[in-house]
Structure 1
Amino acid sequence: MKKVRITKEFTFETGHALHGYDGKCRNVHGHSYKLAVTVIGTPISDTNNVKLGMVIDFGDLKKIVKEEIVDPFDHATVFNKNTPHVELAEELRGRGHDVILADYQPTSEMMILDFAEKIKSRLPEHLELFSLRLRETETSYAEWHASDQA
């Protein structure tokens, strides 16, 4: 049977700061991120399976992405844990804010690499992550494609 790609889109609000950056993004600020997740697989052909004809139930894909990306990142602030922003993160946490201390500079490029690993680890064996698109603004986005990872 032929393979089919399906895509589900997500939105979340996240703040970040880029320590050491030489522009305005060194300041804490936020974005309305839009994440498009595309998986590829063969539609289920087992006539006894309630998901007959689906590559994956959109609800199942939503659950994975919501648990791994949307819920933790929505309305949180992301800092690189290897910078002086750790002090600010501790202050924010102490005041009840959600903070993520990442192993990387929280650019769209590095976030999308993180997201790809998290999503791939949760997909059923018969599926592959095909691509991700993380839109930071209306005119700027990062893309991840499985074919580029060889």
Structure 2
Amino acid sequence: MSQIRITKQFSFETGHALYGYDGKCKNVHGHSYRLDVTVIGIPISDSTHVKFGMVIDFGDLKKIVKEEIVDVFDHATVFNKNTPHIELAKELENRGHNVLLVDYQPTSEMMVIDFAVKIKKRLPKNIKLHSLKLQETATSFAEWFASDNE
């Protein structure tokens, strides 16, 4: 049977700042992110299976991505924990803000790599992550493809 790609779209609001950057993004600011998650697999061919004809139930994919990405990053502010932004992060946390400290510069490029690792760990064995597209603005996005990372 044919391999089929399916895509589910997600959106979330996240703030960040790029320490050491030479432009406006050095300041704390936010984006309305859109994340397209595409997986690839063979549709279930067992007609007695409750998910007959599906590569993966969209609801199952949604659960994985919501738990790993959306629920974590939505309305959070992301800082690289290996920069002086750690002081700002602690101050915001002390004031009740949702702060994420990551091991990387929180650019779209680095976030999409992080997301790929997290999603791949949760997918069933017969389903492969094909690609991610993280859209930061209406005209700017980063993409990750499994074929580029094998």
- TM-score, structure 2 normalization: 0.99
How large is the Cα RMSD of the aligned pairs?
Answer: 0.4
- Matched with 2:126 is 126
SS of 2:72 mapped into structure 1: helix
- Matched with 2:108 is 108
* 1:8-19 equivalence runs, <5 A: 8-19=8-19
- Separation in structure 2 between the aligned mates of residue 129 and residue 53 of structure 1, nearest angstrom: 19
**1:46 CA displacement:** 1.2
- Separation in structure 1 between the aligned mates of residue 140 and residue 23 of structure 2, nearest angstrom: 16
Matching residue's letter, 1:45:
S
- Matched with 2:43 is 43
% identity of equivalent residues: 75
Between 30-39 and 47-56, report the one with greater CA deviation. 47-56
Matching residue's letter, 1:7:
T
Deviations 1:61-120 (A, max 9, x none): 000000000000000000000000001111111111110000000000000000000000
Gaps of at least 5 residues in structure 1 are none
Matching residue's letter, 2:115:
F
- Separation in structure 2 between the aligned mates of residue 120 and residue 108 of structure 1, nearest angstrom: 18
Q: Does 1:55 align with 2:74?
A: no
- Matched with 1:64 is 64
Count of equivalent residues: 150
- Separation in structure 2 between the aligned mates of residue 46 and residue 122 of structure 1, nearest angstrom: 23
- TM-score, structure 1 normalization: 0.99
- Matched with 2:86 is 86
